Structure 1
Amino acid sequence: MKRTVEYGCDAIAQRYLDWSSRIADDPRLHYLAELDGRLPDGAEVLELGCGAGVPCSRKLAERHGLLGVDLSREQIELARANVPRARFEKADMTALDFPEGTFDGIVAFYSILHVPRAEQPALFAEVAHWLKPGGLFLASLGIGTPDITEQWLGVEMFFASNTPAENRALVAQHLEIVVDDLVTMHEPDPATFQWVLARKG
């Protein structure tokens, strides 16, 4: 499943960037502003599934120290070119290892929905472990898709997500939820995501 994501994202790296930039009602920057306004200047931020670095990595790197990770080597190369102020590494977000309390903020835009459902609970626990006390986690999550591989933007792609109630329960085991919104955007077909902003106590 992860090889499917890696190979697919390699194949469509530039295509995905061009396609996503045409989604007029994508709420990413709105929720990024919700997070950014709560972070001090110079915060340490981790981005899980950074893609090509546009627009979110670029925005975060304006004020903060940013480490972006992605399974796709092609996406990482684009991110390094697009956001030279940040650090980027090819890595599986479910296999990362950081000391407790490393980051002030952790973000994941449309990336956790490529992680098998069975691995998502442990990922949320790790996110909480990596955050400093008072640190913030922002993610856009799917709303209930069984583990499935299907054609997407011309390649095979893997998707998986829990229901909003399940997502809420998994995050709330470790973090205090501050924002919990269901938002539909148009890709151009309607697509609904659960936006969660949570704080470590």
Structure 2
Amino acid sequence: MSEETDLVRRGYNALSYRYRGDDADESEYAPWLETLQSRLPTRASVLDLGCGCGVPVARSLAAAGHEVTGVDISDVQIQRARRLVPAATFVQADAMTLDLPSASFDAVVCLYALIHMPLEQQPDLIERIAAWLRPSGWLLATTGWEDWTGTEDNWLGGSAPMWWSHTDAATYRSWLQKAGLEVTSQEFVPEGDSGHALFWARKPSSRYDHPRAH
């Protein structure tokens, strides 16, 4: 685990409840999760990568009857997730060293997590996510909109710093396509003075169903 990754882990350990309470209003996520569920088969297998405390993604999908596996680097977040969403499975792990079987998920959700991972390793992770998806599987992910790497002290007004590392949306789009995924939608999600890119990307249903250039 890199020094920066450990800083992220310690930051979420310290500020887990400040970042998101057990009953936080997450209406921003609702349209994304509704769209995802409309695209999933019955009792789908879903990976929530960077699941945090399990709210709202894992909780919403598990409540709909899907088999959810949540992964997060923060042990405090994972402990909370196991309590808040007992129907799902949660694993504390560094996404960069995560080893999962190929074609094991109908969808991978990675919201506000990729941007906390070392930038030089993110293309490889996207390649592995694509491998974890079953044919016709979906990736729902937020990325950076602009290029930036840095640390914020006293994050969320607390006592812990936080670290981010991300490139721009066009580069993420190219990485997704290079991994063999078809980008079906890209939108800007504002936050503060800038924001994030929200991507929907689909794995082709067969080797003859190649992603189209956009």
Match of 1:69 in 2: 71
The CA distance in 2 between the partners of 1:19 and 1:120, in whole Å, is 30
Higher gyration radius (CA): 2
Match of 1:161 in 2: 166
Residue type of the alignment partner of 1:8: G
Per the TM alignment, residue 21 of structure 1 is displaced from its structure 2 partner at its CA by 3.2
Alignment of 1:175-186 (within 5 A): 175-185=181-191
Per the TM alignment, residue 28 of structure 1 is displaced from its structure 2 partner at its CA by 1.9
SS of 1:14 mapped into structure 2: helix
Identity %: 37
* 1:80-132, Cα deviation, whole Å (9 max, x unpaired): 11101000010011111112101111001111110111011001100000001
Residue type of the alignment partner of 1:77: Q
SS of 2:87 mapped into structure 1: coil
SS of 2:42 mapped into structure 1: coil
The runs of at least 4 aligned residues of structure 1 exceeding 6 Å deviation read: none
Per the TM alignment, residue 57 of structure 1 is displaced from its structure 2 partner at its CA by 1.0
Q: Is structure 2 residue 99 aligned with structure 1 residue 79?
A: no
8 Å CA contact retained: 1:147, 1:160: yes
Per the TM alignment, residue 56 of structure 1 is displaced from its structure 2 partner at its CA by 1.2
SS of 2:39 mapped into structure 1: coil
8 Å CA contact retained: 1:144, 1:160: no
Relative distance call for 1:22 and 1:38 in structure 2 (3 A) is closer
Per the TM alignment, residue 146 of structure 1 is displaced from its structure 2 partner at its CA by 2.7
Relative distance call for 1:146 and 1:10 in structure 2 (3 A) is same
CA RMSD of aligned residues (A): 1.7
**Tell me, which stretches of 5 or more residues in structure 1 are unaligned?**
none
Match of 1:5 in 2: 8
Match of 2:113 in 1: 111
8 Å CA contact retained: 1:28, 1:109: no
SS of 1:139 mapped into structure 2: strand
Residue type of the alignment partner of 1:121: P
Q: Which has the higher strand share?
A: 1
Residue type of the alignment partner of 2:168: T
8 Å CA contact retained: 2:22, 2:84: no
Alignment of 1:102-141 (within 5 A): 102-141=104-143
The CA distance in 1 between the partners of 2:33 and 2:194, in whole Å, is 19
* 1:107-162, Cα deviation, whole Å (9 max, x unpaired): 01111110111011001100000001111100011112432122222221110111
**Tell me, which stretches of 5 or more residues in structure 2 are unaligned?**
205-214
Match of 1:199 among 191, 194, 202: 202
SS of 2:58 mapped into structure 1: helix
8 Å CA contact retained: 2:108, 2:140: yes
The CA distance in 2 between the partners of 1:4 and 1:157, in whole Å, is 7
Residue type of the alignment partner of 1:196: F
Residue type of the alignment partner of 1:17: R
| TM norm structure 2 | 0.86
Per the TM alignment, residue 14 of structure 1 is displaced from its structure 2 partner at its CA by 1.1
